[in-house]
Structure 1
Amino acid sequence: MPVIRRTDARRTETPNAVMTTYASPTQGSTSLAMWHVDMVAGAQGPLHAMDTEQIWTLATGTAAVDLAGETVALAAGDTLVLPAGLTRQITTDTGFTAVVASPSPSRAYNPDARTPEGACDLAPRDDQRVLPAWIA
């Protein structure tokens, strides 16, 4: 049974937040990823979509999630299930810490990126999807 020690947790910093990975396919798990997100007051994540479901639980602070054009307000203790394929953007006035779980691999993509004009498939191409480091 794999044990991922606190000292082995992987930390990834982006301009929007800091993600600390506790388990993922490259850290003891075979198909799930679990991490926590620290976002400072006034921060805003990028508009994107994911190709798998994610579950976010706010441990501290507050957040607003624009989910496919509908704003969902979250406070400490709230859990939000984010369906696959819907656009999302997370902002915070106060800052927050959240624990997140997701199947892995789980790829992020720009919901406006489409296959070349005239193609039948309107979904983003595989080469337009990115596996975030905290989920890998």
Structure 2
Amino acid sequence: MPFIRSTEAQVHEIHGVRFFGYANPASGSKEICAWRGEIPADTAGVAHTITKEEILYLLDGRLRFTLDGEQAELVAGDVLLANPGSTLRVDNESDEPARIWTTTSIGLEAVMADGSRFAPPWAN
């Protein structure tokens, strides 16, 4: 289906973050996934290594990104480009929630610090 209403997003929650899946195989996408993440205030992220490239666009708020050990604080309108094999962590250290839009290829997995793999349903 080429038109996806906001009320039709698939909602998932993990590590205190809500993910709203819009484009993925379940919605008819053949190659690309896209979702919105809502990160509450004072939320510590979980480091994970990504298997596909991700482009993260900060819709509103302020977030601290750690990518392969390098940190940057981004604000609304800023973008992070994360290549496959990068280790990523996203923290909301502010007292306000933040929203982020992410795109990637179908089949993304997150490899956790203990070696376990997670295939997010909003990207598969």
- Offset of 1:7 from its aligned partner? 2.4
- What is the number of equivalent residue pairs in this alignment? 122
3-state SS, counterpart of residue 26 of structure 2: coil
Match of 1:105 among 77, 95, 107: 107
Deviation per residue, 1:47-106 (Å, 9 max, x gap):
101100000000100111111111021111101111111111110122310111000111
> Could you tell me whether the CA contact under 8 Å between 1:31 and 1:105 is conserved in 2?
no
Q: TM-score, normalised by structure 2?
A: 0.90
- Offset of 1:111 from its aligned partner? 4.8
Structure with the higher strand share, 1 or 2: 2
Take 1:20 and 1:45, find their aligned partners in 2: how far apart are those partners? 17
Name the counterpart of 1:21: 21
Q: Which runs of 5+ in 1 are unaligned?
A: 114-127
Runs of 4+ in 1 over 3 A off after TM superposition: none
Name the counterpart of 2:67: 67
Take 1:41 and 1:18, find their aligned partners in 2: how far apart are those partners? 12
Q: Let me know the Cα RMSD of the aligned residues.
A: 1.4
Q: Which runs of 5+ in 2 are unaligned?
A: none
Name the counterpart of 1:47: 47
Superposed, 1:69-108 pairs within 5 Å as 69-94=69-94, 95-108=97-110
The sequence identity of aligned pairs, in percent, is: 29
Take 1:111 and 1:85, find their aligned partners in 2: how far apart are those partners? 13
Structure exhibiting the larger radius of gyration computed from Cα positions: 1
Take 1:13 and 1:2, find their aligned partners in 2: how far apart are those partners? 25
3-state SS, counterpart of residue 25 of structure 2: coil
Match of 1:130 among 107, 118, 122: 118
Q: TM-score, normalised by structure 1?
A: 0.83
